[in-house]
Each structure stands twice: as C-alpha cells, then as structure tokens.
Amino acid sequence: MHWVIKQIRQRLLDKHYAIGDVLAERYSVESVLQNGSYGIIYLCLDLRTDVICVVKQMRKSKRRENKENYLEETSILTQLRHEGIPKLLDVFVYEGESFFTMEYVTGKNVEDTLFATDRTYTEIECLTLLKQLTEIVCYIHAQGVFHGDIRIPNVLVDNGAVHLIDFGLASSVKVTDRTMCEQLACEDFFDLGDFLLYLLYSSYEGPTKKNRPWTEELVIHPQTTILLKRLLQIDSVPYVSCEEVLEDLDKAIVSVSSDI
C-alpha cells in the first residue's frame, strides 16, 4: 500500500516532458534517456547553438533529498575540467522544475556493451580501460571530489576513450581532511575493483558456482590479482592514494603485455 501511495505521489508531483516539448524556450526534447528515481534525463537539441546536449530534471517528489543533491552535483561539475567528464553547460529552472544541462558524449555505457552486445575484453584490454578510468578518478580526487557511484552504467566508452558520468552521489571534501578523503577514496577504489571484475568476467567461459570466489574462476596474471585484491581490500593492504593504484596498474599492464 505504501508503494502504491508513493507511486501516485510521484505521478502527481513530477512533471514529465515529451518528445517535441521545448524547455525554457531553448531545449527541444529529442528523447528520454533515463527515467530514474531521482531524476529524468533527456536528450535535447539546444535551439540557440544547434548542438545536442543532455538535460537532467530533478524530481519534485524527492524535493528534500534532491535540493541538496542538485546543489552539490552542479557545484562539483562546475569545478571539474577533464576530457573524460562531460562539461556542465547550464543550470536553470522552468515551470518550477530544476534542471541542468551537460555536454552529450556519444558511445555506449559499459553495462550495455557487456550485456546487450556480448562484448568480451581480454585481460590487457580490461587493464587499459581501467587505467583510463583511474586517471579520471585521480583527477577528481585531486580536486577533493569523490564519485561514490563508479559502476558499469556510469562509464561510457566512445571509440576507446573512457568517460565517467553521473555525479549525483559525489561528495566534495576539503583536501585537508585527510581521514575523510582516504575513506571516500577507498570506496572509489573498491568500485574500480568491482568494475575490473565485470570486465574480466566478460571473457570467462567456465562454470560459475554460487559460492566460488573469483580467485578460483578467473585465470589472470598474478600482478592483476594483486591489483584486484588491494582494490577490493581482500587479504592485502588497501590503497590509500591514486598514485599507488596507477603504479600497480602499470606493473600489471607491463607484465600481461610481456606474456602476450
């Protein structure tokens, strides 16, 4: 019953825009990319610049959480300047709804690539993609920003170039707060390890048993195993800095390459 009431409240409070609608006399809706619990994401044509962009609308039904998230996400995106992160283009309110506009990046997210196209990755390809992603993470950590949601749907690959999207759960922390920075960094590193596991399993062809660990299923280089164990904080000293991750990543790439 509670779920039904929640759905009714959401339908009443959250305005949805259709293809062809124009937001703020500027953004023409081309399609709906995502209809999530906290926001609706549209692919739009900017009528002033004739450029395709992404517009995110915050849900009114989540007003309390979304107000804080909206301010945090837009503030974080304003300070980030990296080719692997879509640029924040505009922030606006239309018909009482809060929006922001971002650069549109072509390509597919890794989740769609793995499950919709059955793409497989070799170990060296996995490590190479992870290095690109880690370099983006290193950049944001240096700015005191921690993503908090590095998952395969939030990583786009466009002609081999990696992009990190969706900073809705990101945190901005003063770099002088070392304890908090290290804690949040470890969470991002764990997500990087999980991301690597997804990629490595794309080429796994053996039987999968429910309680069988990846260490028994995957046949990977020992240096890659060391990297994964430290990222996932398994029986090893966890990483506390991006520099350490990149150092071990480079070791793994060199080791795996030499065996090919």
Domain locations in the chain as residue ranges: 10-103, 108-259
What average pLDDT does this structure show over 32-58? 91
Confidence band of 204 (pLDDT split at 50, 70, 90):
confident
Which residue out of 14, 112, 149, 194 is catalytically annotated?
149
How many CA atoms, within 13 angstroms, populate the side-chain half-sphere of residue 84?
21
pLDDT of residue 10: 53
Which one, of 137, 193, 132, lies nearest residue 162 by Cα?
132
110: pLDDT strictly greater than 70: yes
- Which amino acid, residue 255? S
Q: What percent of the chain stands above pLDDT 90? A: 67
What is each CA distance from 194 to 199, 229, 247, in whole angstroms? Answer: 9, 11, 19
**Residue 90 catalytic?**
no
pLDDT of residue 59: 81
Give residue-wise pLDDT tens across range 80-98: 999 999 999 999 999 988 9
| Secondary structure element (H or E) that encloses residue 104, with its range | none
Return the CATH number of 108-259, one of 3.20.20.105, 1.20.140.10, 1.10.510.10, 3.30.1360.150: 1.10.510.10
Confidence band of 61 (pLDDT split at 50, 70, 90):
low
247: pLDDT strictly greater than 70: yes
Confidence band of 177 (pLDDT split at 50, 70, 90):
confident
CATH architecture assigned to 10-103: 2-Layer Sandwich (3.30)
Give residue-wise pLDDT tens across range 162-173: 999 999 899 999
The residue with greater pLDDT, 212 or 197, is: 197
